[in-house]
Amino acid sequence: METLYLKLKPGDISKYVLFSGDPMRVEIVKKYLENPRHISYFREFNTYTGEYKGVPITITSTGMGAPSCAVAVEEMYQCGMEVGVRMGTVMGLSSHMLGKIFIPTACIRDEGTSKTYVRKSYPAVSDFDLISCMEKAAEKIGRKTVKGINCTMDGFYSQMKDSRFSKETEKNHQKTFDELKKINCMGVDMESSLLLTLTNLMGIKGCVVTMTTVLENLKDFLKGEERTKAEEDICLCALEGIVLYDKKEKK
């Protein structure tokens, strides 16, 4: 039976699945796939399956935030996913991170969706073998990496970026960032802790590989060709990392 939102059936996907927030980043990945087959594009979920260097890989988009990411992870698991990797962008909390690939070892679960699955004390951690493969892939494409703790939140304008309304209601985003930095948290996003929580609960492998494209409260960000190259590189890193992991598993 076809899944409700991603419109998938068993046999449509690889056991390796990449998750991108942005549907257009899926189109970037598609360019690198051999024999890409467009499975569906419904709502925010744009899905292809193809091969990269002989390894079958599925790529789908999740849109922004943990609730829609959970839908994508659930429906991919329903169709046979065994390895799930979030591939996207992150807001860095240190200026040295800009333009580097950030690979969270674990995430603070400050979004609400994962709490509907399991108690708050349950850890959101990455698979160490996948982390190792993603690090080697980043080195292969010439990108420096940073590892550490990430924090996943729900509210972009309410927690991460000043807006007219946040200023009117006197939200202090800098206080939030300062508190995170005191506990050695290195980045903020809107999906990672959900993916890591679910993959661990499901008993499958999961990790996150992100490009630091912006700094806290958008005080600096990658622009123009630099941003375009960063988008290409995060896609390549995720694909190369899956190939390395597949070779390791086959040994």
| Structural domain for 234, as ranges | 16-245
Q: How many other C-beta atoms can be found within 10 angstroms of the C-beta atom of residue 165?
A: 10
Distance CA 237, CA 222 (A): 18
Arithmetic mean of pLDDT, 18-24: 97
Arithmetic mean of pLDDT, 30-57: 98
- pLDDT exceeding 70 applies to what percent of the chain? 100
Q: For 159-183, what is each residue's pLDDT tens digit?
A: 999 999 999 999 999 999 999 999 9
Q: What is the rounded (10 degree) CA torsion for 211, 199, 124, 194?
A: 70
Arithmetic mean of pLDDT, 63-83: 98
Task: Identify the band that residue 87 occupies on the pLDDT scale cut at 50, 70 and 90.
Answer: very high
User: Residue 190's closest CA among 2, 19, 26, 10?
Assistant: 19
Amino acid letter at 123? P
Q: For 224-236, what is each residue's pLDDT tens digit?
A: 999 999 999 999 9
User: Residue 48's closest CA among 69, 63, 27, 66?
Assistant: 27
Question: Does 251 fall in a domain?
Answer: no
Question: Does 109 fall in a domain?
Answer: yes
Question: Does 46 fall in a domain?
Answer: yes
pLDDT of 43 over the 90 cut? yes
Distance CA 88, CA 231 (A): 8
User: Residue 48's closest CA among 62, 37, 32?
Assistant: 37
First-last CA distance in the chain: 35
Distance CA 15, CA 13 (A): 7
Distance CA 150, CA 210 (A): 11
Query: 240: domain CATH number?
Result: 3.40.50.1580
Arithmetic mean of pLDDT, 134-151: 97
Distance CA 39, CA 81 (A): 15
Distance CA 19, CA 183 (A): 28
Question: Does 8 fall in a domain?
Answer: no
According to the model, what pLDDT value does residue 135 have?
98
Question: Does 53 fall in a domain?
Answer: yes
pLDDT of 251 over the 90 cut? no
Question: Does 6 fall in a domain?
Answer: no
Question: Does 7 fall in a domain?
Answer: no
Q: How many domains are contained in the chain?
A: 1
Question: Does 133 fall in a domain?
Answer: yes
